Chains A and B, each alone.
Chain A
């Protein structure tokens, strides 16, 4: 276990450690670190952190950053599972750090608990848990995730029935956290698969009765980088923190391509 580098505490550090609350146990947080200015490749670093069972993994990361090593870098914004900033690999699976409770990661039988945290896979790591989201966002933009209409604009709102709205309800829940896309083995490859998240966001407009750009999006997803690279491993569905049936959405796009015109 690496000694806590309190002396090096830099920006982000909040000084002295707070009192340990009652009922807290010490867990080991094993984090994959990478500093592009010092490291040639990622390395593991462990911290002993007092944790309550009701703490979230994000609290542990905050503890490390605020009191043990201020150089730890990660994204988080709302901390309540809405913004999708803190996607990371927690104990080997893609999760939002703000939605995973310590009690669900506890080792049974009173054994010592180790929680491993690594950056999401398949995107270039900038520093520690912070990855470059640009390839992900590029795929997202490529499917034209906005309303496309032709002809004259209506003078009033665009009306839609509840049934028509229900058709794509599941895929409106996406928060672009990249949990699904970076859990996809096809995306990990060097190739340029759009990835589940981009297809989910295309699905959201393809099946929207108000939208008229479906054919364009289907054409885009029909390409070599599109839905046909999906191998239905269901990693994306397992990873989604919003419970979106991602693989089902991809299959629905495949079906739409198969039976169009």
Chain B
């Protein structure tokens, strides 16, 4: 490995040929973590403690909530932030613990596929939920 200084008289080496991905992912973990504290604790509080708790949750309750854009936005951001936050965390765990490159590659493929499936399915349900479907019971 050579350590010669390239272009010693140049004022600065051209920057931005390296990626900021790791920085962005580190920053995302902090910001999404803060947001998730509010979103998840608020969600748990509303669902489980206020107004009779978990027993009042049924089809009509969910239908009522998702008819409001506010709750649609709340649940959608919770879904995306939690999934990407958790997925990114698992990515770093895989990077830290996988011993072989092949293991690392396939574990990450599994992770990314599962993330895409869950995000797509979850977003699909939130956006297309139809409260007019007659309940069976």
What residues make up the interface of A, taking CB atoms closer than 8 Å to B? 138, 141-142, 144, 148, 150-151, 185-186, 189-191, 215-216, 219, 222-224, 226, 228-229, 231, 254, 257-258
Contacts and interface: CB of A to CB of B under 8 A. Distances in A.
Given A215-B12, A219-B15, A226-B22, A190 B99 contact: yes
A219 to B, nearest CB: 5
Interface string B32-45: 00000000000000
B22 A141 contact: no
Interface stretch (B1-9, B58-66, B67-75): B1-9
Contacts, number: 52
Interface of B: 1, 3, 5, 8-13, 15, 18-23, 25-27, 92, 95-97, 99-100
A224 B22 contact: yes
B13 to A, nearest CB: 6
Given A141-B1, A141-B3, A144-B3, A257 B95 contact: no
A142 B19 CA distance: 17
Contacts of B99: 189-190
Contacts of A222: 18, 20, 22-23
A138 B3 CA distance: 11
A148 B23 contact: no
B12 A223 contact: no
Contacts of B8: 150
Given A190-B99, A191-B96, A215-B12, A254 B3 contact: no
Contacts of A215: 12-13, 15
A228 B1 contact: no
B22 A228 contact: yes
A141 B11 CA distance: 22
B14 to A, nearest CB: 10
B1 A223 contact: no
Nearest to A257: B23
A258 B26 CA distance: 10
A150 B1 contact: no
Contacts of A144: 3
B50 to A, nearest CB: 36
Contacts of A223: 18-19, 22
B5 A148 contact: yes
A138 B96 contact: no
Contacts of B19: 223
Nearest to B17: A219
Given A141-B3, A144-B3, A189-B97, A150 B11 contact: yes
Nearest to B29: A228
B22 A258 contact: no
A144 B95 CA distance: 26
